[in-house]
Structure 1
Amino acid sequence: MRNWLTPGMRLMLLGTFLFSLGSLCIKLAGERVPTMEILFVRGIVGMGLCWLIVRRSGAGVFGTRRVMLALRGLTGFIALFAEFYAIVHLPLADATVILFSHPVMVAVLAWVVMGERLNLVGAGAVLTSLVGVAVVCRPGFLTGTSGPELDPLALAVALGGICFISVAILTVRSLARTEHPAVVMFYPPLIISLAAPLFAEGWVMPTGAEWLMLLGVALFMNVGQYYMTKGYAVESAARISAVTCLEIVFAAIWGASFLGEIPDGWTVAGGLLIVIGTLALGTSARDETAPGESGG
C-alpha cells in the first residue's frame, strides 16, 4: 500500500507528537512549580543538546551576527515564557489553539515589515484565523457575559506570546541566510539559562514526580523541535501545515484524558477556524511560489 506521508511529514508528525507531550508535562509540573523554573530546566537541557550539535557541525558556537542572534535568543526567551505561562494557566486545548495562530501573525508582520506579498486568499486566511482566536477567547460580545470565562491575564500573555513567537520566526528566517542552523538553535536556551534565574520568584524543590515532568518538558520539547526542524528542512511548510494542526488534536486528547478538561463549543469552533485559516495561508504561500519552482 502506498505511504500517504512523505518523509518530511513523518518527521513533522513525530515532532508535533513529542511537542504535545511536552505541553502536557508543562501543565502537570505547573500545578506547583513556577513557570520560570520550568523554563529554566528546559533552557539548561536545551543548551547542552544544542552545544553538542554545534560542536559536531564544526560551526563557531556564537556565530557571526551576534547582535541579531542575541535578539533571536531574547525573543525566544519571552515567547517561551508566554507559551509556558499560557499552558499552565489556561485549559491545555485553549492555550494550544491560541498559540497555534502564530502563522497568521508571521504573515502579517512579513507583509508589513519585510514587504512580502499577501494575496486575497492569504488575507482571507488571516481574517478567518483572527475570528477563530476571538471565538476561543470568548469575549463578552460573543458570550453575552460581562467578560471572558478564561483567565484574562493568561489570555493577554498568550496573545502577547504570539507576537514574540512571530518575531522570533522572522529573525530565524533572516539568520538562516548567514548562520548555521545549530548556532541559531543555541541562542534561545543560552539566554533562557542566563535570564530565567534573574526573573524567577518563589522557586521550589520539585518532588520526584515533578522532576520527571520537568525532564519530560526538556526532552520532549527539545527533541520535538529537532524533528520539526528536520521536517521543515526536507518539506515545504505549505505541504506539512496539515500535520502541525494535529497538535491541537493531541492537546484536546491529553486534556480530556489526564486533566479532565473537555473542550467546549467555543474551543472547537475557534480551533476549526484557525486550522482552516492556517491551511489556507499555507496554500496561498504555495501558490505564490509555484511559478518559480523548477520541479527539480
Structure 2
Amino acid sequence: MNFLTPGMQYMLLGTFLFSIGSLCVKLSGLHVPTTEILFVRGVVGVLLCWYILRRAGVGVFGKRKLALFLRGLLGFTSMLAEFYTIVHLPLADALVLLFSHPIVVALLGWFILRERLSKGSLVAVLISLVGVTVVCRPGILFGAKEAMDPFLLGVALLAVLLTSFAILTVRSLAKTEHPAVVMFYPPLFIALLAPLFAGEWVVPTVGEWCTMLGVAVFMNMGQYYMTRGYAIESAARISGVSSLEIVFAGMWGVMFLNEIPDVWTVLGGVLIVLGTVVLGRSARTEMVISPKFPLS
C-alpha cells in the first residue's frame, strides 16, 4: 500500500474494523433495540479506553477538557442522528446522504483548520462520493415517486454536519491528546445518555450478546485507529477513505447475509477504490487551493 500515506493506512484499518462492527449491528439489531446496542458499545468503549490509558500511564480526562467534552457530545448526537436517519429513511437514501460528510469535512478543514486542500484531493473525494451514489442508487437521484420528508432530510443533513464537526474535533485533539483519551469521551456520553433515549429493553440471547460485544470491540478499535490516522494526516485527504466501509459491507453481505451485489454495486465499489488511490497520490501534489480570506 505504498500509494497510501501512513495516516490513510490507519484510516483504512479502522474502516475495516468498523465494517465488521456494522455487520454485528445488522445481526444483533434483528431483535435488540438500537439504543441497547449503543449502550453496550459505550460501556465496553469506556472500559477499553481505561485499559489502554492505564497501560500507557496517561490520565483519563486529558488536557483540553472543554474540547474533549465537545467531542463526546458531538460523538453521541451525531451517532443518534445517524441511527435515526438509517431507521426512518430508505437505506440507500440514508447512506448517500450520510456519506456526503467527506466533502463537508474537506471544506470545513479548509476554512476552519486552514488545511491545504489540493485539487487532486477534492477530485478524489468527489469520485468516492459518486461511487457511493452508484452503490446506493438513491431514489432522490434515480427517480422516486414521492419526495423525501423534509424533517427526515433535515435530520440526515444534521447528522452529516455533526459528524463533520466531530471529525474536525478529533483532528484537532489528536495533535495534543492520546488517541485513547480522544476515544474515551464519546462512549462515556453514550453510556450515560443512551438509556435516557431508550424505550423497552430486551434480554439478549447468547448469540446476541456475542454480536453486541462484537459491535463494541470492533467499532471502538476502529475508532482508535481512525484517531491515530487523524493525528498524522489532513482531515480532507483522510476522510474519503471511510467510504470504503461500503465496499467491505458488500463483502460481508455476500459472505454472511447471502446478499449478492449487482453491477451497480461493483461499479460503485471500483469508483470508491479509485478515489482512495487518487487521494493517496494527491498527498504529494504541489497545486493547492487557498481560501481568499484566511482565518486568524
TM-score range, shorter chain: 0.7 to 0.9
- Judged with a 3 Å threshold, the aligned counterparts in structure 2 of structure 1 residues 161 and 260 are, in CA distance, closer, same or farther, namely farther
| Contact 1:18-1:220 within 8 A present in 2 as well | yes
CA distance in 2, matches of 1:178, 1:58: 15
Corresponding position of 1:167 = 165
CA distance in 2, matches of 1:133, 1:147: 22
TM-score normalised by structure 2 residue count: 0.75
Task: Return the offset for 1:6.
Answer: 9.2
- My pick for the range that moved more, 253-262 or 42-51, is 253-262
Three-state SS of the structure 1 residue aligned to 2:42 is helix
CA distance in 2, matches of 1:141, 1:99: 14
CA offsets 1:29-53 (integer angstroms, 9 cap, x no match): 1122111111110000010010111
- My pick for the range that moved more, 51-60 or 91-100, is 91-100
Letter in 2 for 1:81: L
Corresponding position of 2:21 = 22
Match 2:220 to one of 218, 222, 225: 222
Task: Return the offset for 1:115.
Answer: 3.1
- Judged with a 3 Å threshold, the aligned counterparts in structure 2 of structure 1 residues 67 and 226 are, in CA distance, closer, same or farther, namely closer
Task: Return the offset for 1:26.
Answer: 0.2
| Contact 2:45-2:220 within 8 A present in 1 as well | yes
Q: 5+ unaligned residues in a row in structure 2: which ranges?
A: 289-296
Task: Return the offset for 1:20.
Answer: 1.8
CA distance in 2, matches of 1:113, 1:236: 12
Corresponding position of 2:179 = 181
- Judged with a 3 Å threshold, the aligned counterparts in structure 2 of structure 1 residues 206 and 90 are, in CA distance, closer, same or farther, namely farther
Task: Return the offset for 1:87.
Answer: 6.3
Corresponding position of 1:208 = 206
Identity of aligned residues (%): 65
Q: 5+ unaligned residues in a row in structure 1: which ranges?
A: 291-296
- My pick for the range that moved more, 39-48 or 12-21, is 12-21
Corresponding position of 1:31 = 30
Task: Return the offset for 1:193.
Answer: 0.8
Task: Return the offset for 1:134.
Answer: 4.7
- Judged with a 3 Å threshold, the aligned counterparts in structure 2 of structure 1 residues 70 and 197 are, in CA distance, closer, same or farther, namely same
- Judged with a 3 Å threshold, the aligned counterparts in structure 2 of structure 1 residues 202 and 167 are, in CA distance, closer, same or farther, namely same
Equivalent residue runs for 1:112-261 within 5 Å:
112-136=111-135, 138-140=137-139, 142-147=141-146, 160-229=158-227, 246-261=244-259
| Contact 1:35-1:85 within 8 A present in 2 as well | no
CA offsets 1:202-236 (integer angstroms, 9 cap, x no match): 22221222111111111222233334555666889
Task: Return the offset for 1:106.
Answer: 1.4
CA distance in 1, matches of 2:146, 2:97: 18
Three-state SS of the structure 1 residue aligned to 2:285 is helix
| Contact 1:15-1:224 within 8 A present in 2 as well | yes
CA distance in 2, matches of 1:151, 1:261: 28
Letter in 1 for 2:77: I
Count of matched residue pairs? 287
Three-state SS of the structure 2 residue aligned to 1:287 is coil
